[in-house]
Amino acid sequence: MYENMEELQEAIKNCNKCKLCKNRTNIVFGVGNINSKIMFIGEGPGADEDAQGIPFVGKAGQLMNKAFDAVGIERDEVYIANIVKCRPPNNRDPEEDEVNGCMDYLRNQVMIVKPKIIVLLGRIALQNILGKEYKISSVRGKWIEKKGIYYMPTWHPAALLRDETKKIDFINDLKEVVQKGTGPN
């Protein structure tokens, strides 16, 4: 366990636990308010994220920002991270050994932030956090509570770029998050 985000980030700067380190430009650690009640977890960085070292800055991230604006979420008031911290080649799904190499980093991020709500962006985040038995199409938009944390599985913003009909679901899921996040719990 690391004492703070700075210490954790420093510890992973030169990570070489998996083959993703060979082609990265930057580790994409995480960004936002480390005291937030709400944390977003995506899959892994794309090309724009790898170039800038910041999660969700590409087209999917821009779409997520618009959705945040629509429901009243301030991006810098939530914490945003990914399952893997380095870009998988050609934006492929992260492989099991790559996920395993990063999982302790993510667990530490969660322990430092101590969110009440974690929004799982897409299948990869859902299955690696809650279990392979979960299917995004059947649990999307449904609260799942485990160990005092409320999880909201929803579409990954990249899925909205491929299928615009999912935008309404995504916005509605974010509205649920805002409502629960501003409530008494």
Handedness of CA 168, 174, 179, 180 (dihedral sign): positive
Whole-model pTM: value is 0.96
Burial profile 128-160: b = 16 or more Cβ within 10 angstroms, e = fewer:
bbbeeebebeebbeeebeeeeebbbbbbbbbbb
Residue 34 in 3-state DSSP? Answer: coil
- State how far the Cα of 137 lies from the Cα of 111, in Å rounded to an integer: 28
- Contact call for residues 130 and 137 (beta carbons, < 8 A): no
One pLDDT digit (tens) per residue for the chain, 185 residues = 788 999 999 999 999 999 999 999 999 999 999 999 999 999 999 999 999 999 999 999 999 999 999 999 999 999 999 999 999 999 899 999 999 999 999 999 999 999 999 999 999 999 999 999 999 999 999 999 999 999 999 999 999 999 999 999 999 999 999 999 887 65
Joined tokens for residue 92? 């492929």
CA separation for the pair 57, 64 (Å, rounded): 9
- Comparing CA positions, the residue from 21, 10, 17 lying closest to residue 86 is 21
CATH superfamily of 5-181: Uracil-DNA glycosylase-like domain (3.40.470.10)
CA atoms 82, 83, 86, 88: torsion sign = negative
